[in-house]
Structure 1
Amino acid sequence: MSASPLFTPATVGDLALRNRLVMAPMTRSRADDAGVPGELTALYYAQRASAGLIISEGVFPSAMGKGYVRTPGIETDAQVAGWKRVADAVHAQGGRIVMQLMHAGRISHPSLLPGGALPVAPSAIPPKGQTWTDQGLQDMVTPHALSTDEIAQVVAEYRAATRRALDAGFDGVELHAASGYLPEQFLSSGSNQRTDAYGGSVANRARFVLEVLAAMVAEAGAGRVGLKIAPEMGYNDIVDATPQDTYGHLVEQIAPLNLAYLHVALFGTAVDYHGLLRPRFKGAYLVGGGLDQARAEALLGSGQADAAVFGSAFLANPDLPERFRRGAPLNAPDKATFFAPGAQGYTDYPALG
C-alpha cells in the first residue's frame, strides 16, 4: 500500500470516498438523439469506478440547456432511466458518482433546441466562435436575453433536474459554473450587461448562481451539492473585467450554503486563486487543471486541496488509481475520439493486466 495521500479516505459533504482521486466531468458525446445515455455509457463509468468520486459529463437540465450534439439530458423519463443504469453500474463496483448539471446558455444553436429556438443568455450578446451541430460546425447566434420570469423558470429547471438525478440514483449533483456556460455568462461582465437585479454589480451578477445553488440544496441537501468554477479560463468567449473580485465574492456568498465541495479548475492564470478562495470555503476543496500524480500529491500533502481532479488521464486509464499506486505507465488519450460516437476511444482503453 502506497503512503501517497491520494489513497487516504476522504469525507466530501455527505459522501465517504475511498480515495482522493476524482474523475473530472468530460463531455464525451455518446448519448442518442433524445439525450439518453446507453449501455456503453454505463460501461464507461463502471470501468472508472475505482475513483474516489466520479463527476459525470455535463448533463442538460432542460432541453433549452443543450449545447452540443449527442450530449445527455436529465429532463425525460427515458433520460432518467438511462442514467439509472449508469449509477447502478458505478455503485455495483463500489464507486460514487455525482451528476454535473450543465446549461450551455448562449453556447448552442437553434438546430439543437426545441422548435429551433434561440439560445438563452443574460444578455443578447453573441459569443464568438462555432458550435458542433448535426450539420457540422455552425456560427453561434445572438441569444435571447432571459426575462426575470424566465430566469425563475430556469432556476426551477435546475431544481427539477436535481430531483431527477437523485431519482436516478446519483450520490449528488454539481453545478457547472465554468467553461463559458450559462452560470458563468451571468457571473461575467463581458456577457452580462443587464441593468436589473441580475446585472451590473458583482453581487447582482452572482445572484443567478446563488439562486440555482439554493434550489439544488433545497432538493438534495447541502451535503450532496458541489460547485465547479474555473476563473480566467476564458473558454467559449467568456471575459470578466474583475475576476478576482467576482470569484472572491461568489465563494464568500456560498459559505452559508455549506456545500459539499468547491471544485476549482485552473488553466494558465498567473493569479493564485487557490490562495484567494481556499480560506473562504470551509467544505471540501477539489483542485483540477492539468494535474499529474506528483502535483496532486503535493497539493494534498500541503493541505491546499482535499481531493485531486483528473480529466484526460482518467479518460484514457480506466484503472488510473491502480496505475498511480503501482507507478505503472499511463495510456495516452486519443483526442480524435474524444467526441466521436461508439466504443473506440471510449470503453476500449486497456486496463493493467
Structure 2
Amino acid sequence: MSQKKLVTPFISENISLSNRIVMAPMNRRRAVKGIPHPSMITYYQQRAGAGLLISDNIAISSNGGAYMNTPGIYNEEQKTAWKKVVEAVHAEGGKIFAQLVQAGRIGHPAIQNNEPLISSSAIQVNETIRIPDDTHQPMTMPISIDLEEIPFWVQAFRQAAINALEAGFDGVEIHAAHGFLIDQFINPLSNIRTDEYGGSIGNRTRFLLEIMQEVVAVAGKNKVGIRLSPFREIYDLKSYPEELATHQYILEELQKLDILYIHFSNAITNGRPSIPLNFLRSARQRFKNIIMIAGGFTVKTAEEILQTQFVNLVAFGKLYISNPDLVERIKNDSPLADWDEETFYQGGDKGYIDYPSY
C-alpha cells in the first residue's frame, strides 16, 4: 500500500511539520479559574506526534470564555501554567499554536466572572448554557460594544498573542468562527450596527482585519493563523445572501496580510459538509499559503481531500480525543479507538488522559 499523504512531512518556507495531521482545537473544559489544570500537560504531551497541535479555546479576557472551565491567557498564573504545557509538547518534538477567543454573546455572566456579555449588537442568542450551579440557563442579552471601546478589544487580542508567545507557543490562531465575537461582527444577523463596523462587507469585516493586523504586527505573519466557519449554522446564525462574497473578501484581505494559514471548520450535518468543494477551490485561488480543514474527517476522507490539492493539512478532533497516538495508528493501519462523549467536557482525568496508545 502506498504511503498516505497524511503522514508525509509538510515543508514550506514558513513552517516545517513532521506530518499533515493537526490536532484540532477543542475546549475540553479542564481549567480551574482559567488556569490550565496540570493534567493538561499530560494530555497535550500524549498527542505531540501531530504535525501541529492547536490548543483549547483560550479566553483573551475574564469574560471571554463561552463555557465553564475554559482556560485563559490574560494573567501571569495562566501564562505560567501554559508554559509547562508548551514545554512538554516541545520536549516530544511537537509544535503547538494557541487558539485565542472572545466568545462575545455566547455564555452567561455566572461563567464570565459576573461580567455582562458583549457583542457587535444587542441581540440575544435563543439558547441555554450550563452554569456553575449545574443548571442550564438562557444566555443573557449582550451589551453592544461602543464604537470607542472597539480598539480596547482589538488590543486585547494583541496582548493575548503577546502572552501566548511569551508562554512559548509556536504561534497563535485567532478564533473568528462558530458564532463567537469576531463572527458576530462578520454576520449581518448578529451585526445591525450603523457605524463603520456594520452594514457593508468592508465594515462587517473591519473588526476581524484590525485584529489580524495587530496580531501580525506583534507575532510576525509566519506565526499567525485564523479559524473561519463559512456557511456554518450555529447559535442563531444562519446563511445570508452575501455570505460567499463576504468570505471571498476576507480571503483576499488575509492574503494581503500573508498570514501562515487559514483553518476552515467544516461542520458535517446530516452527512453533508457545510463547506462545498467549489468554495475550497475558490479559496485556494484567493489564498496561497496553508489551508487547513477540520470537521468529521475519517482517515479515508482526509486522504481524499488532501489529494484535491485544495487543502494542505487536515485537523482531527474526536479521533484525537480517543487516540493519543493517532499518527502512529494511521501510519501502521492500526484500529482506531472509540471516544466517550460523556467525558468530552467534564470528568477530570477519565476520558482525558487515560486513553491508551495502541
CA–CA separation in structure 2 for the residues paired with 1:285 and 1:28: 24
1:76-120 CA-partner distances (Å, limit 9, x unpaired): 100000100100000000000000001100001111224x22100
Q: Higher mean Cα deviation, 103-112 or 70-79?
A: 103-112
Contact 2:172/2:225, CA 8 A, preserved across alignment: yes
The amino acid that maps onto 2:55 is S
What residue number does 1:269 align with? Answer: 274
Any residues of structure 2 matched to 1:26-45 within 5 Å, and which? 26-32=26-32, 34-45=33-44
- Please give the secondary structure, in 2, of the residue aligned with 1:163: helix
Q: Which residue is 1:212 aligned to? A: 211
Give SS of 1:178's match: coil
Q: Which structure 1 segments of 5+ residues have no match?
A: none
> How many angstroms does 1:270 deviate by?
6.6
Q: Equivalents in 1 of 2:347, 2:165: separation in Å?
A: 27
User: Residue 181 of structure 2 corresponds to which residue in structure 1?
Assistant: 182
* Structure 2 contact 7–330 (Cα < 8 Å) conserved: no
For residues 247 and 224 of structure 2, what CA distance do their matches in structure 1 show? 18
- In the other structure, the counterpart of 1:305 is 311
Q: In the alignment, residue 316 of structure 2 is paired with which amino acid?
A: F
2:149 match: secondary structure: helix
> Which residue identity lines up with residue 141 of structure 1 in the other structure?
T
Equivalent residues of 1:13, 1:259 under 8 A apart? no
Distance across 2 between alignment mates of 1:144 and 1:76: 24
Structure 2: distance between partners of 1:83 and 1:164: 10
Letter in 1 for 2:320: F
* 1:22-63 deviation per Cα after TM superposition (whole angstroms, max 9, x unaligned): 00000101000x200021001000000000000111000111
Which residue among 292, 297, 315 is the counterpart of 1:291? 297
Question: CA shift at 1:199, angstroms?
Answer: 0.3
Query: Match of 1:193, SS?
Result: coil
Correspondence 1:35-114 to 2 at 5 A:
35-114=34-113
Q: CA deviation at 1:236?
A: 1.8
> Cα distance 1:29–1:152, how it changes in 2: closer, same or farther (>3 A)?
same
Greater CA drift, 261-270 or 46-55:
261-270
CA deviation after TM superposition for structure 1 residue 237, in Å: 1.8
Distance in 2 (CA, whole Å) between partners of 1:162 and 1:348 is: 31
Aligned residue for 2:195? 196
Residues 216 and 225, structure 1, Cα contact 8 Å, conserved in 2: yes
Alpha-carbon contact 2:230-2:275 (below 8 Å) kept:
no
RMSD, aligned α-carbons: 1.4
Cα distance in 1 for residues equivalent to 2:207 and 2:2 = 43
- Between the aligned partners of 2:244 and 2:237, the Cα distance in structure 1 is 15
C-alpha deviation, 1:239, in angstroms? 2.6
Instruction: Determine the C-alpha separation between the residues in 2 that align with 1:273 and 1:340.
Output: 36
Structure 1 CA distance for aligned equivalents of residues 205 and 190 of structure 2:
13
- 1:319 positional shift: 0.3
Query: How far apart, CA to CA, are the structure 2 residues paired with 1:217 and 1:282?
Result: 17
Q: Is the 8 A contact 1:126 1:142 kept in 2?
A: yes
Question: What amino acid sits opposite 1:170 in the alignment?
Answer: F
Amino acid at match of 2:252: E
The alpha-carbon deviation at position 246 of structure 1 amounts to 1.4
Measure the CA separation in 2 of the matches of 1:250 and 1:344: 40
Classify 1:119/1:313 alpha carbon distance in 2 versus 1 (closer, same or farther; 3 Å): same
Give per-residue Cα distances to partners, 1:214-244, cap 9 Å, x unaligned. 1111110000000111112112222341211
Give 3-state SS (helix, strand or coil) of 2:355's partner.
coil
Normalised to the residue count of structure 1, the TM-score between the two structures is 0.96
State whether residues 12 and 261 of structure 1, in contact with CA within 8 Å, keep that contact through their aligned partners in structure 2: no
- Once the two structures are TM-superposed, the CA of residue 9 in structure 1 deviates from its matched residue by 1.4
Checking the alignment, whether the CA contact within 8 Å between 1:13 and 1:260 is kept in structure 2 is no
Tell me how far 1:336 sits from its aligned partner.
Answer: 0.5
**Matched positions, count:** 350
Paired residue type of 1:131: I
**Counterparts in 2 of 1:215-294, with a 5 A limit?**
215-241=214-240, 242-267=242-267, 268-269=273-274, 271=276, 272-294=278-300
Alignment partner of 1:318 is 2:324: yes
Runs (4+) off by over 6 Å: none
Q: Is the 8 A contact 1:65 1:102 kept in 2?
A: yes
* TM-score, normalization by structure 2: 0.95
Structure 2: state its 5+ residue gaps. Answer: 268-272
Q: Which amino acid aligns with 1:67?
A: A
